Amino acid sequence: MKNILDIEYERLKLKNNLDVVLYQDKSLPIVAVNIWYKVGSSYEKPGKTGLAHLFEHMMFQGSEHVPKEMHFRYIQEAGGNLNGSTSIDRTNYYESVPATFLEMVLWLESDRMGFLLPALTQEKLDNQIGVVSNERRQNYENQPYGLAWEKLFAALYPKNHPYSWPTIGWMEDIQNYTLDDVKNFFNTFYSPQNASLVIGGQFDTEEAKELVKKYFEDIPNKKTLPELNVPDVQISGNKKVIYEDNVQLPRLYLAWLSDKGYGKDDASLDILADILTGTKNSRIYKSLIIDKQIAQDVAAFQYSAKINGSFIIVATPKPGIDLDTIKAEIFKEIENIIKNGLTAKEIRRSINAYKSSYVYSLQNLDALINQINDYTCFLNEPNSFVYDIGRYEKVTAENVKSVTEKYLSKNFVELNVIQKKDA
Amino acid sequence: MIIDRSIKPEEKGKIEFQLPEIKKTKLQNGLNVIFVEKNNLPIVQFNFVADSGSKKDPVGKSGLNYLLSLLIDEGAGKYSALQLDDEVESIGSILRCQTDQESLSVSMLTLKEHLEKSLELLSLIVKEPRLTQDDFEREKHKQLTKIIQLQDDPEYIANSVFRKILFENSPYKSSSIGSYKDVENITHQDVLENYKRNFSPGTSTLIVVGNIEFNTILKLIEKQFTDWKAERTIEENQNVIKPKKRQFYIVHKNGSAQSEIRIGKISRGRTSDDFYARTLMNSILGGQFSSRINLNLREDKGFTYGAHSSYQYNKNGSAFIVSTGVESEHAGESVSEILKEIDGIRKFISKEELNFSKSYLIKRYPSMFETFSQVSSNLTLMTVYDLPLDYFNVYIDNIERTSLAEVEAAAKNDLLPEYISILVVGDKNIIKPQLERLTSQQIIELDMEGNII
């Protein structure tokens, strides 16, 4: 039987170097388009943080041939879904529509790739600065523990490191963008040569190729892309940060520097996270939540990105239990792994969970072609599901033990979110 | 190639979409089975739905069914809690138990190769949950701690307090997780009795969506479920919920960066004759991104990251609710703009707006059947609301044939301003003066559990 994860695709490069991948799936009369621009918040400068994300908002405000509000309306009128997202490493835009509307989507995407600036106005910028400021208030400032992540990463990385500021940006930076900032950003990063376009779902391949050429090939590239300047990073001595928040219960965050995405140790660190907290039987979960019942929740994960990664553990103690108590228990479990290793059964269980999650992830076309775009941009091979799972299948108990020692016995950053006195 | 970009490309060709065939049957012991075959991936999704849920929580014991949903997969049949989890995880299946107002469900997503084992584990959870004293104590403590944590969550406070305002004195007045005081009073015996009272084959439905033939899966279901004999009858809830008079409420939350706004009223149920007219009306008013309320508050004023409205249904009725989080210094203006939009839609709806919303709802229809869990949740809706078997087949026709006059009537009849409740959760010192400019009424102040201060 053919491996369903071994996907078929076609790839072409337009004359302007736009990377294009076509993936057919005719199970529903839907077509989805997904564009990555290889720019995220890590390409910003201190003082101009959050610009990549604000720029993403401006991309929905119409372009030369698409009036304000009509980008949304055209897609919605066609019965489609659309959105975009900004991460530290990239910005993506995606829409899925009935298969009959492919040309309209390519028209919309190409118009904002090539012809955004003529439609840009101060009024639109002011409005979206308001919207993004409220996004920051709603999803960060007004959420319990909502500012913890930016405190943690600001402590983990030095100030000039591109991973040290939050994707949404600092509030005072958000409120001070000018039209020139937005224009410069577009002229620097939004070129065909810096983008990757994936079309998935029901379509005719030859027709799709023609349409892509028709709408995208005459879009010129702009400046040459700037190099990312990344300072070396290491934590000199353990660091502890205390932050007061409007919360009923304190929360402990521990962070170590680790391997980057698709790096040699990345998959072993993912498996380690699962073995620590992924199931009821996992080491730390069982200790803290089932046996001792001193924590309400605990989660560990390998947060891997393009430049490097971090390994993070977050735990909330039960009322009356202090952070040092759960911290001691967490370290006891880590030391136990470093000393005594893991069982083959634990590794097997975790690998199986990863394997099935890849099959489940094929259900949604938007998510599927976004993953194809991830493989295209980071591995230069769209058909990488089999390779990707292979990374996990190869992980042994010995690998996990050794990455635990290699990364988790190093210096770390600890953040304590504690209850504000008047809360 | 020179192309004219000023012209929007038209739709090309025609969509061919076949709705999946829905099969329905009943086992000898009364268990309802609903099935859809879906073959594009080697996956099977199960969802067991019990006629339970928080509407069945006894008075003074809110949160009881939520607690049952935490506890029900903590060991079953021969497996202890940890053994059961190990069985599920080692085959890579995903098990979820949850409760809402109308039902308690246990769902399992599995690879086809582990279908039999997954079904066996699911049936054990449903038929023979262990519900031990130790697991009860631990999960109850977890629920109590969660309730404490939710005091930090402004959206939760707004939703649960607004629920209490609208559904006062009805089984829908509490959020599923319940109040601290009530949950503290729940005993192990309460949970055991609640399970007995609300779980039986005749009052439950097993939904299956997957890459398998109907006859094959039916045999497997019979093998696992025919020995289940529990009996009980459905008690119909005849409670009629009265609409409340127009009133402003606030909940004080110190130092909030934003204010959460909820505006709405009690409305009619899913099977009422104006269901489609209200669906279209809501879509124009606040049901999607390009709706009047979102364009006004977000894309014009920039007061919020997003604002929307919806009809939230229960078995007998619904609540129409507008919700948004806004910068606190614009809370008053946001409330007044939302009220203006509600008045506005009662006065005028254009043909273009209606056509846009019809197009939106009709053309996106195939995408509602994309994933296994989407199909399964569609079938769950059908079960919970007793929708007819052809509901999905006639949906598009029903939207299409709804006239502008019917949509106008739905707005006029349903969104009566004298029955609209208004709640703002935020810093009282900032929001109260703003709201006082909007009403001559006394503004009622509530605590975070919705009790009058």
Q: How far is A173 from chain B (nearest CA, A)?
A: 17
Mutate to test the interface with B, among A16, A174, A363, A365 (most CBs of B within 10 A): A363
Q: Residue B142 is nearest to which of A115, A296, A357, comparing CB atoms?
A: A296
Q: What is the distance between the alpha carbons of residues B168 and B239, in angstroms, rounded to a whole number?
A: 12
pLDDT digits (tens, 9 = 90+) for B145-167: 999 999 999 999 999 999 999 99
Using pLDDT thresholds of 50, 70 and 90, give the confidence band for residue B120.
very high
Angle at B177 between CA B108 and CA A315, to 5 degrees: 75
Q: Count the helices and strands in chain A (H runs, E runs).
A: 15, 11
Q: Residue A214 is nearest to which of B1, B43, B94, comparing CB atoms?
A: B1
pLDDT digits (tens, 9 = 90+) for A119-169: 999 999 999 999 999 999 999 999 999 999 999 999 999 998 999 999 999
pLDDT of residue A422: 66
Chain B residue at shortest CA distance from A352:
B92
What is the average per-residue pLDDT within B365-378?
96
Chain B residue at shortest CA distance from A419:
B152
Q: How far is B93 from chain A (nearest CA, A)?
A: 7
Token reading at B239: 């409670």
pLDDT of residue B238: 62
Using pLDDT thresholds of 50, 70 and 90, give the confidence band for residue A421.
confident
How confident is the prediction for chain A on average, in pLDDT? 96
A335 pLDDT more than 50: yes
Nearest to B350 by CA among B294, B295, B285, B396: B285
pLDDT digits (tens, 9 = 90+) for B317-367: 999 999 999 999 999 999 999 999 999 999 999 999 999 999 999 999 999
Using pLDDT thresholds of 50, 70 and 90, give the confidence band for residue B316.
confident
Can you list the domains of chain B with their CATH numbers? Answer: 23-225 (3.30.830.10), 247-446 (3.30.830.10)
B378 pLDDT more than 60: yes
CB pair distance less than 8 Å for A134 and B145:
no
**Sequential DSSP letters for A103-163:** HHHHHHHHHHHHS-GGG--HHHHHHHHHHHHHHHIIIIITSTTTTHHHHHHHHHS-TTSTT
Q: Residue B302 is nearest to which of A69, A73, A127, comparing CB atoms?
A: A127
Q: What is the ipTM of this complex?
A: 0.94
Q: Which residues pair with B261 in a beta bridge?
A: B324, B424
DSSP H or E stretch at residue B304: strand B304-313
Architecture of domain A239-419: 2-Layer Sandwich (3.30)
Mutate to test the interface with A, among B4, B6, B8, B19 (most CBs of A within 10 A): B8
What is the average per-residue pLDDT within A390-409?
97
Using pLDDT thresholds of 50, 70 and 90, give the confidence band for residue B230.
confident
A10-216 with A239-419: one CATH topology? yes
What is the average per-residue pLDDT within A361-385?
97
pLDDT of residue B239: 67
pLDDT of residue B254: 85
Using pLDDT thresholds of 50, 70 and 90, give the confidence band for residue A405.
very high
Mutate to test the interface with B, among A81, A110, A134, A283 (most CBs of B within 10 A): A134
pLDDT of residue A329: 98
B234 pLDDT more than 70: no
CA Rg value for chain B: 24
Buried/exposed B55-89: b ≥16 CB within 10 Å, e otherwise: bbbeeebbbbbbbbbbbbbbbbeebebeebbbbbb
pLDDT > 70: percent of chain B: 98
Q: How far is A304 from chain B (nearest CA, A)?
A: 23
Using pLDDT thresholds of 50, 70 and 90, give the confidence band for residue A1.
low
Architecture of domain A10-216: 2-Layer Sandwich (3.30)
**Which chain B residues have a beta carbon less than 8 Å from that of A126?**
302
CB pair distance less than 8 Å for A144 and B8:
no
Chain B residue at shortest CA distance from A274:
B89
HSE-CB for B100 with a 13 A CA cutoff: 11
pLDDT of residue A423: 47
- Count, residues in chain B: 453
A260 pLDDT more than 80: yes
Q: What is the distance between the alpha carbons of residues A144 and B77, in angstroms, rounded to a whole number?
A: 39
CB pair distance less than 8 Å for A142 and B256:
yes
Chain B residue at shortest CA distance from A292:
B138
Nearest to B101 by CA among B155, B148, B63, B47: B63
B135 pLDDT more than 90: yes
What is the average per-residue pLDDT within A395-419?
97
Mutate to test the interface with B, among A168, A349, A356 (most CBs of B within 10 A): A356
pLDDT > 90: percent of chain A: 94
Q: Residue B305 is nearest to which of A29, A135, A290, comparing CB atoms?
A: A135
A223 pLDDT more than 80: no
pLDDT of residue B268: 94
pLDDT of residue B165: 97
Q: How far is B13 from chain A (nearest CA, A)?
A: 6
pLDDT of residue B440: 93
Region at A31 (left for phi over 0; alpha for psi -120 to 50; beta for the rest) = beta
**Which chain A residues have a beta carbon less than 8 Å from that of B13?**
99-100
A286-300, B222-236, B437-451: range with lowest mean pLDDT: B222-236
Using pLDDT thresholds of 50, 70 and 90, give the confidence band for residue B315.
confident
pLDDT digits (tens, 9 = 90+) for B431-443: 999 999 999 999 9
CB pair distance less than 8 Å for A101 and B11:
yes
What is the average per-residue pLDDT within B72-90?
97
Domain boundaries, chain A: 10-216, 239-419
Using pLDDT thresholds of 50, 70 and 90, give the confidence band for residue A222.
confident
> In this complex, how many residue pairs, one in chain A and one in chain B, have their CB atoms less than 8 Å apart?
207
Q: Residue B15 is nearest to which of A29, A316, A360, comparing CB atoms?
A: A29
B123 pLDDT more than 50: yes
HSE-CB for A291 with a 13 A CA cutoff: 10
Q: Residue B148 is nearest to which of A68, A249, A423, comparing CB atoms?
A: A249
A228 pLDDT more than 90: no
